[in-house]
Chains A and B, each alone.
Chain A
Amino acid sequence: MSSCWPEGELRAYLDRELPPGDLERVAAHLAECPACRTQCEELAGRASRIVALMQTLRAESAPRPAIPVKAQTRKYWRAAGAAAAAVLVASAGLWLMVGKSRPAQPLTTAPRHAASVLPAAQPDVVSAPPVAPAAEPAKAPAAARPAPKRRVVPRPSRPKMEYFYALDDDPIDAGVVVRVTLDDHRQADVILSSDGRARAIRLVNGN
């Protein structure tokens, strides 16, 4: 029987952090040494308990309620053009750098299918000044309608909703919405999925 391995090597073996040759040698030794097997089990159990405890600290950074998200189709996104893509790249980098200029706690979405959710009651949008209805008749479709009527019936209680532009066709089950500040002081919201990919973007009201 091969000689027993020190605790540190067994610990590294559990994390697959030994050189390949050593990984095999430890595995072969464990097959024939109950004492080292027992020690490995102890180390593994403790390691997973400790990681679980450390993970409790991670949970605290995202205790806020879900933000509903509606993702647009890829077609819509293409229409937004390459400029928006550049904005996104800038945002993704900036998100790591912005410090206190973004909200202290990112808002986390609970698992849900993005396409089925309406953009109701988004706190960040509600807090922004609603766009004045008078500005809208400038748009082509509005010009066809009787403009005076629109002025008579203003709708200040309904803030303008900005939809997110989906950056790919995959459904967004869960993600973190981060507010980023761009170089020119405009702000945008980016949805990052758990793997860190940017999945959707919208510019914040008024830009």
Chain B
Amino acid sequence: MQPAKGLVLSPADAGTRDEDRAGVWIEAVFREHYPRLVSLLARLTGNRSEAEEIASDVFCKAARRKLDEPVAWIYRAAMNAGFDALRAGARGRRRAEQAAAETIRTATPGDALEEMLAEERRGQVREVLALVKPRDAQLLLLRAEGLSYRELAQTLGLSAGSVGTLLARAEAEFERRFRARFGGGA
């Protein structure tokens, strides 16, 4: 798959100047945000190829729309699709089992146990991320990726001054739900 090429308007599509400009902005947004979006989705879904699929799909959709805040829209749409994928629970469980089996085959016994525990913890984190508000989940994931408050505000379409407040609330809410579900280990 070559996501970059899918977004460049082919000569057949590039009818009007407007569309040309749309191709330009989406390409710039793509260059800046695609890798980050894929890594974010990969964390959310635990599946890199699925993450790439979702991200490409969202960019293609964005390219066909007139959007006021394209970046915020893309992240929102991608996160929603990511959560949908995450909630497709049966798939997730199957994946976890495959991952565990793979671990046991390839790792030494100590590593295997550690990796199984880590996989369990990742499942818990994803489960709680799917429970909190999508914006909270985005804030927590993107903040953990090292985005500054200014970048968070731009990416999520928030005012820069509200990021501290929203982040503090998102953290409190995540921890509350995590503890309610899985006990004090958070």
Binding site for B on A (CB under 8 A): 6-13, 15, 17-18, 43, 46-47, 49-51, 53-61, 63, 65, 96-101, 104-105
Contact = CB atoms under 8 A, between A and B. Distances in A.
B34 A46 contact: no
Contacts of A6: 165
A18 B148 CA distance: 11
Nearest 7 pairs of A and B residues by beta carbon: A8-B165, A12-B164, A54-B144, A57-B43, A8-B164, A11-B168, A100-B1
Contacts of A55: 144
Interface string B145-166: 0001100000000000011111
Could you tell me the dominant secondary structure of chain A's interface residues?
helix
Interface stretch (B14-22, B61-69, B171-179): B171-179
Interface in B1-57: 1-4, 31, 34-35, 39, 42-44, 46, 48-49, 52, 56
Given A55-B144, A97-B34, A60 B171 contact: no
20 contacts: A7-B164, A8-B162, A8-B168, A9-B164, A11-B164, A11-B167, A43-B171, A50-B174, A51-B143, A53-B125, A54-B140, A54-B144, A56-B125, A57-B122, A57-B126, A60-B46, A61-B39, A96-B31, A96-B35, A99-B56
Contacts of A60: 42-43, 46, 118-119, 122
Interface in B103-119: 103, 106, 115, 118-119
